[in-house]
Structure formats: structure tokens, C-alpha cells
Structure 1
Amino acid sequence: AAAPDVDQIFAVANSTKYGGAGYSGNDIGTFSSDNSASLQVAIHELGHSLGNLADEYHYGGGSTWTGTEPSTANISTLEADEMAGSSAKWFRWLGFVQPGVGGHDTFEGAGYHEFGLFRPTANSMMRELNQRFNMPGREALIIEFSKVVDLIEDRIPADSIVPADAIASVVAVEPLHGLDYRWEHDGIEIPNATTSMLDLSTIATLEDGDLISVIVTDPTDMVRDEAARTDWMTDRVDWIVSAPSAPDPDLNGDGRVDGADLGIMLLYWGSSGTPGDLDGDGQVGGPDLGIMLAGWTG
């Protein structure tokens, strides 16, 4: 109750005893504080509580899994050819060789059973401490991180309405590998707009009420599940453009632009703050006459 927005809970026992637990789906983990393996245990339990990963070790004794396909990302009843054929579990990583971990395949013995369940690599953090997470484990953790962290932290302007001559930008969480930025005008990608900001005055066709969007994506190659990237690793901000309406050279409001309107303009020629200042520069002059002649109906 005191921390309503908590993402993970770690209960730490002030003890030298070895051990810990991670509760998949509940965002809760435990470990002891003063054992030589405490930090490694905490990382392993985070694999359970945050990544929803299963243990990849077994207890021996010839036990065989007879249940259905587990829901966890890193153990399976499927062997490599079945996995590849059905596009299941870590099929995208089959054959990938990870430095410090080795090749990805299907290795029998996981989920506490010696037979009937397979793990992605010969060893990993979910099988033995002081190892790295294999790629299915890393991918699962990254996706879960992304579910609780928005890529876009702030938008400028903060309002959903943006002037047509503004510079629109976003402040994003920048990982070491960088992010992909894509800007759109009414749903159509703007060429060469690939940074966190965009000068709207460079868009010649921009009109009042148009939609400007920026889509930010984390392109990390540690995730190969593109559906997850779209759902959890992509963020978006939209603005509605506010553009000044075109100046109306019909100064007398009779529905025509003719000599009567020209007479009004000439009456105020050189003045400021008057009806004839069509371009809004503070003075009635040549540019205003050009606007009037462009709309001339006679």
C-alpha cells in the first residue's frame, strides 16, 4: 500500500543461509543477504519473478515430464525440428551461437525433470549460477522490462496541439544501441525524419488540422519477436497542427475582392494594426497588396 506503483518486490533475509525463490507472474522474489552467492541468486530469482522464466535444471533420478507444453519461454516439450516446424518457443534462436553461452538448440533435461522437457542451451543462468542468460531468457526479460518502461518520457510541446511553425520533439529513454525514430504526416512517413525532433516549418503541405506523429521503436537485436516489439517496444506521440487561416483580402465583407477592398487598403497604406495588414507583419504594404491581387475577383 505504501508503494502502489511498485514493479518488483524483493524480500531480503538478513541471513548467511543459501537460497531464494522467484514467483513468476507475481513480481516477487526472495534471497538472503550474506551468502557468497546472494547476488547470483537474486539475479536468478529475477529471471523467475520478472522474466517469468522456468528453471532449466533437473533433479536427476530419471523423472519424465508427462504434462502439456509449459507456458514459460525457456522450456518446451518440443525438439528442435518440431519447434522450427511449428514456429514455437525459441525457434527464432535455433542455431544461434551466443558468446559465453554457446549454441541454441534443444537440450533434454529442464523444469526439474530429466526427460521430456528441453532447454535452449547446454547451460545458462536459469540452470546454474555464474552463467549468462541465454537468448530466449534475455528476450523474455527485455520484453518484460519494456512492459513497465515507456520509451517516450516527455513531448515538446506538451499540449496535443502544435503550431505549424514549431519544432516538435520527444525525450526518450536512450539505450546504448539507440532508438529508431519515424515521423509521419497524416499517416505517411516523412522522408529523412529520423531523429527525436522535427521542424514543422519544413513541411510545405502542412495545413490546419493535420496529424503529426512520431513513432519510437527499440531496435535491439536481442529481441526477435517482432509482434512483441510492436506491442511493447514501440511508443507513439501525436499532435494536431494549428495553422493560421489564410488572410482574407475581402476587407469590406461583400463576398468579392475588388476595387472597394483596394480602396480600403490604400486608405491605410503604411499604417499598422489595420484591416489591410493581411500578412500580419504589422504594416500595410506591398506584400499585403500581393495577397489581395492573388485573390482578386474583380
Structure 2
Amino acid sequence: MLLILTALLAGVTPASAAAPPARVAGTAMLVDNGPAANRITLVLIGDGYTADELPRFRAQAAATWQALSSVEPFRTYASYFDVRRVDLVSPESGLGPSSPLGMHFDCGGTPRLLCADDAAVSHYAGPTVGPTYMIALADSNAYGGAGGSGVTTLSAGSKDASRIIQHEMGHTVGGLGDEYDAAPGGQSDFPNLSTQDASALSSAHAKWWRWLGAADPSGGVVGTYRSANGLYRPTQDSIMRTLGAVYNLPSREAIIESLYRRLDTIDAATPPPQAGPVAPGRLLTVTPLPLAGGRRLAVSWTVDDRPAPSSALRDGGLSLDTGALALPRHCHAIVRAGVVDTTDWVRDEPFRQARMSASVAWSVGVY
């Protein structure tokens, strides 16, 4: 009793009365779309949820992924992501000094800007394989979030949470800038912002010049529309300007290109091309990254750089029967499978050829 009284008088909480430390109660794969080495893993982790409040966090985590994967281009490319949830138990409910991820509003003097301690998020999220984005959910009903190069944050209890995460992941994945009038001026390094008008962009082959005049999903056409901060944006409206809108075409292209800077169009090839020559009669198979809705990337086959006969193709063009090539004895051929994303949401053809296509080759024949 004297020990407790002395500790209280000294302003120290005795160990027996201290709040329990933060701990990870478990993890769960919400979405498993394939090998982590060729997927982007979204790690969802919460701050300010006690053990009794974890069910709310789990529901909010599921809703976060649902919101993101419901808007294009994330909807079409949802299969490029794995989603892992980390159940972090906070010692106290809500955000505060004891929040294990250090999440807090008014970051940088902006009331709705929600920050987190990136190092703490990485610590509690644990090791990852392959490209990863961290999303920290705050147990708060206030409006707020943040996106960019660090941890993406979201006030998960906000009535606008689903629309906030769609906007913030535009920053994080596409490297997009804010298009609204109150955004800071002078920040034109983003792919969707410019100091130049349409004529200058076209002359310089800069920014979204390939899209100028194109009909946009947001309505109207792609051009250069000046915001109150002096910067030009591609369209009258977009998700980077108004919550609940859609990504305009230049922003969709930026997001898709970002995905392909991290992923390969080919998931697997059998037999492994590096295993050596393949005897005639074997079935060669290529597995491209899957798209949503049963769609897939374009697959083409060549034999010694000439189109493979259609009679040799199997499984809807994913496989080639080498036995159907009728190769002469003591001859060999190079069979190549190419996979490319032909989406019309990308107009940068040099990038498509460099990063959105890949091929594998086998040497087939009897030696």
C-alpha cells in the first residue's frame, strides 16, 4: 500500500495498474490473389482499437479494401493485390498519447491531415515479401487521412472513409497531386498537374499530352483546366479534386504504370525455361497476371520468330503443344510466349513495351 501511494505521489503508475502494452493479436489474409513476390501487398493495421473493439476494426478493414477495389482502375487490377490484416490491440480506446502507431490529426498544422509513425507501423506489421503498401486505420469518426510516399492513413470511422481512401491511394499508388483549388500552388511535379496549358504540353510532348482531346470518364474531354492555385489539371473534375468522383484518364494511366513498375506480366511458365531443352510432345504453358472479371492479358506465341500455328494452341491460347509443331528430326526451334497488357487506359507505348510486356522462351527439339 505504501509502495502504491509513493508511486502515485511521484506521478508514476505502478506496474500492476499500468495499461497493458500494445500487442498483435493475430493476422489474416483478406485477399490472396497469388504469390507475394508478384503481387502488391496491402497491409491494413489499426490504431486505437482495444481487444473488445477489434471486430469494428476488422469490419472497417474489409470496407476499406471494398471501397478501393470498387473504383477504376483499381477494380480492373484488383487481382494484382494481396490484402493482409494485422489485428493490433491498443492499450486504450481511440487516439491518444498511448496510441502504438502514434497516429494524430493536425499533422503539419493541417487539422484533417492524419499522420502515423512509419517506423511503428512497420514494426507491428511485421516482415513483408514483395512490394507493399501500409494503410493505418485510426479508430476515429473525424474526417481525415493522408497518402503519399509513407504510410497511408485513414480515419476509419468517418462517414467519408470509403471516398477518402480512394483519393489517398491515388497519392500513394499513382503519385498523384491534389487537383482542388485550395491545394498548394507551385507543386507541378505530379503527373496530373502542370504549369503549362494544352498548347505548351502538346508542343513539348509533356505530361498528359497524349490524352488531350480524349473523352474522359469524368465527363467532358481531357485538356488543361486551371485551378485557383494557378496549376492546370487534366479535367474539370476527378477523384483528386472531389471525393466520390472518378479517376480521369491521365491519372488512371499513372496508377497502372505504377503497378507495372513493381510487377511482371508473367506469373509463371512451365516447364521452367531455364531447365534446358524441351523434348517434342511437351505442353508449354504461360500464366499471365489475371485481371478482374475473367479478363486476361494478351498472350501470343511464336516459333522461330514466326506466329505459331493455331492448331498447336491449347487452353484458350495459354498453352502450346510442341507435338503439333511437326519438327523434323535433329532440328530444334525457339518457342516464345509473349504477354502484354493492351489496355487502352495507357497511351504511352514506349512504357507499354518496356514494362507492360514480357516473354519467356523454350528451346524445343531433339539434339
Instruction: Tell me the TM-score normalised to structure 1 length.
Output: 0.71
Divergent runs of 4+, >4 A: 191-194, 205-209
In 1, Cα distance between equivalents of 2:357 and 2:151: 26
Residue of structure 1 aligned with 2:285, choices 158, 169, 174:
169
Kindly name which structure, 1 or 2, has the bigger radius of gyration based on alpha carbons.
Answer: 1
In 1, Cα distance between equivalents of 2:262 and 2:331: 35
In 2, Cα distance between equivalents of 1:87 and 1:11: 38
Matched AA of 1:55:
D
Matched AA of 1:237:
V
> Residue 234 of structure 1 corresponds to which residue in structure 2?
357
Task: Pick closer, same or farther for the CA change 1:227–1:191 going to 2, 3 Å.
Answer: farther
The answer to whether the 8 A contact 1:7-1:148 is kept is no
Counterpart secondary structure, 2:194 = coil
Counterpart secondary structure, 2:229 = strand
Q: Percent identity?
A: 31
| 1:92-241 alignment runs, 5 A limit | 92-109=210-227, 114-115=229-230, 117-160=231-274, 161=276, 162-175=278-291, 176=293, 177-190=295-308, 192=310, 195-205=317-327, 210-241=333-364
More helix by share: 2
Deviation at 1:237, TM superposition (A): 1.4
In 2, Cα distance between equivalents of 1:231 and 1:147: 10
> Residue 136 of structure 2 corresponds to which residue in structure 1?
11
In 1, Cα distance between equivalents of 2:194 and 2:307: 41
Deviation at 1:39, TM superposition (A): 1.3
The answer to whether the 8 A contact 1:183-1:213 is kept is yes
Task: Pick closer, same or farther for the CA change 1:71–1:100 going to 2, 3 Å.
Answer: closer
> Residue 166 of structure 2 corresponds to which residue in structure 1?
43
Gaps of 5+ in 1: 246-298
The answer to whether the 8 A contact 1:101-1:132 is kept is no
In 2, Cα distance between equivalents of 1:154 and 1:82: 44
Deviations 1:187-228 (A, max 9, x none): 344354682111222334566553221110111111111122
Counterpart secondary structure, 2:226 = strand
Matched AA of 2:143:
Y
Matched AA of 1:183:
W
Gaps of 5+ in 2: 1-121
Residue of structure 2 aligned with 1:28, choices 151, 158, 161:
151
> Residue 250 of structure 1 corresponds to which residue in structure 2?
none
In 2, Cα distance between equivalents of 1:225 and 1:51: 15
In 1, Cα distance between equivalents of 2:192 and 2:233: 6
Deviation at 1:64, TM superposition (A): 6.0
In 2, Cα distance between equivalents of 1:100 and 1:172: 30
For CA contacts below 8 A with separation 6 or more, give which structure has more relative contact order.
2
In 1, Cα distance between equivalents of 2:147 and 2:338: 35
| 1:244-263 alignment runs, 5 A limit | 244-245=366-367
Counterpart secondary structure, 1:122 = coil
